[in-house]
Amino acid sequence: MEQVRPKRPYGWVAAIVIVAIVFFSIGYFPFHSTTSSGTVNIQFYESLATSEATFVNNTLIPQFESEYPGIHVTLVNVGSGQVSTDILALEKSGKVGSIVAGQDNLEIGQLIYSTSGNVLMNVTSMAPALMPATLIPAASNLVSYEKTVFGGIYFFPFRANIPLTWYNKTMFADAGISSPPSNYTVMLQDLQILHSKGEKGLMIQGASNLGGHTGSSTATELYQIMVQFGGNPLYINDSGDLHAMQMVYNLSNYFVPDYKNGYWGSYNGLAVGNYSLLYYQWPYIYNTLTSSPYNMSNNVLGVYPGPAGPVNGNHLLGGDVLFIPKGATNVPSLEAFIQFLLGTQAQRETLLNLSWVAINNASYQNLPAKASIIDTALQDAIAQGVFLRNPVPWITEWQTILMNDVFNKLFQTSTPAGYSDIPSLLNAAHQAMYNYILQNYGQANATLYNNPHNYAPISV
């Protein structure tokens, strides 16, 4: 289930990964579990934005190492989607080493349903000692779902991430709009008013091929809208999906031109007046926009859960889960690190400094006033309902088909398709997805896919 925040697979990261894969293939492993002094070296695989990685390296890891002086942690920060690739390569080598990994909750299915079988360690027996007793309801429900579907606990909720909607209060006030849109119909009306007053319109995530951002951000955004219209997005072609894409088409009249470059990292334009409404962005941008060089005040920066659809106002619950690969060594040290990451202190600090949604409910006690605005928005979003994407192993192909066969044909070509073409585009995309599953996963799975009630979002 996908990291739901910016992930930047820079060229140097890709180069390191390539070198690492070569080493793995020839049997050379540059990392060892222990040193001559007896210190245990463990690696923490994750895919983090630069600011997140800096905080983990400079704050969280030193705090852990001060509590456990016999354990040294190295953050291995890789590009988007790379955690699964690296873990599968290590598993294939037979020399996993001392590894804890954080994985986008959507992509965990790639490791559970890999061609090698489930490569995650069964951690059911250690779970009571490692997970906080005060899990937020969504995290607790995820664990229950995991036990029901997979027959045990193979990963721990680590950090939740819920997209919010952001707006420029001044621009709204200048247009005579007193509050942000409560639903998509009102959003369309507000955008018409903003346009008539000369204000800039709506920024969404529309990057289909931007520096490695191959449409996953846009597909995730569309997933939530489809759910709010009562659809099953993985099916692509039910009535809720159709009505959602028709609304997106109507809203597109007010997309700001730069939406074609929009992805997780596109938010700075809100601070400089390039648009008045920023739909679907992760909470971490609050700390960015209220800090130098932007310094947006709370009187200007508005944030709320966002518009509700005609069926529900549910929000996609993104974020990462923690797991230990099968064959990992020094498991007690790995357990200690997991317990630390899920503890009240670490969860509270990432909430305050990175706007990660804490899965440990004790972390929300006595928060400082500066956190109240973003915390209120997150709590409101959770109260409206949250869901997880079904962890299907073919999610990457689904994203590609949705983008190439629907979104890009409607909005990203020189001769775009029209409103009346939406039903046929969705039908063709559904058929392409069916054919892919048939070819790669067999008739039984293709038949399952062809039922709109299967692979539905998971309510948590």
pLDDT tens digits, 432-446: 999 999 999 999 999
Angle at the Cα of 49 from the Cα atoms of 170 and 252, rounded to 5 degrees: 45
Nearest to 60 by CA among 425, 337, 458: 337
Q: Are 281 and 271 in contact (CB under 8 A)?
A: no
Q: Are 375 and 283 in contact (CB under 8 A)?
A: no
The pLDDT tens digits of the residues spanning 62-101 come to 999 999 999 999 999 998 778 988 999 998 888 899 999 9
Structure tokens at 272: 């400089």
H-type alpha helices, 206-238:
216-228
The residue count for the chain: 460
Handedness of CA 184, 186, 189, 190 (dihedral sign): negative
In this prediction the pTM is 0.78
11-162+317-384: in CATH 3.40.190.10: yes
- Within 10 angstroms of residue 94's Cβ, the number of other Cβ atoms is 8
Q: How far is the C-alpha of 391 from the C-alpha of 44, rounded, in Å?
A: 22
Structure tokens at 292: 């130098």
Residue with more model confidence, 357 or 240: 240
What DSSP character marks residue 59? Answer: I
Of the candidate ranges 168-182, 274-288, 338-352, the one whose mean pLDDT is the lowest? 274-288
Q: Are 407 and 233 in contact (CB under 8 A)?
A: no
Structure tokens at 10: 């820079």
Structure tokens at 249: 């088409």
- Within 10 angstroms of residue 138's Cβ, the number of other Cβ atoms is 22
Percent of the chain with pLDDT strictly greater than 70: 89
Provide the pLDDT confidence category of residue 335 given band limits of 50, 70 and 90.
very high
Q: Which CATH architecture has domain 163-316+392-460?
A: 3-Layer(aba) Sandwich (3.40)
Residue with more model confidence, 300 or 214: 300
Q: Are 268 and 215 in contact (CB under 8 A)?
A: no
The pLDDT tens digits of the residues spanning 94-136 come to 889 999 999 887 778 778 888 788 999 999 999 999 999 998 8
Provide the pLDDT confidence category of residue 379 given band limits of 50, 70 and 90.
confident
Question: Does 163-316+392-460 match 11-162+317-384 at the fold level?
Answer: yes
- Within 10 angstroms of residue 438's Cβ, the number of other Cβ atoms is 16
Supply the mean pLDDT for the chain: 86
pLDDT of residue 16: 30
Q: How far is the C-alpha of 381 from the C-alpha of 363, rounded, in Å?
A: 18
pLDDT of residue 376: 83
Whether cis (ω within 30° of 0) applies to the bond prior to 293 is: yes
- Domains in the chain: boundaries: 11-162+317-384, 163-316+392-460
Q: How far is the C-alpha of 230 from the C-alpha of 177, rounded, in Å?
A: 28
Residue with more model confidence, 265 or 273: 273
Average pLDDT estimate for 262-289: 86
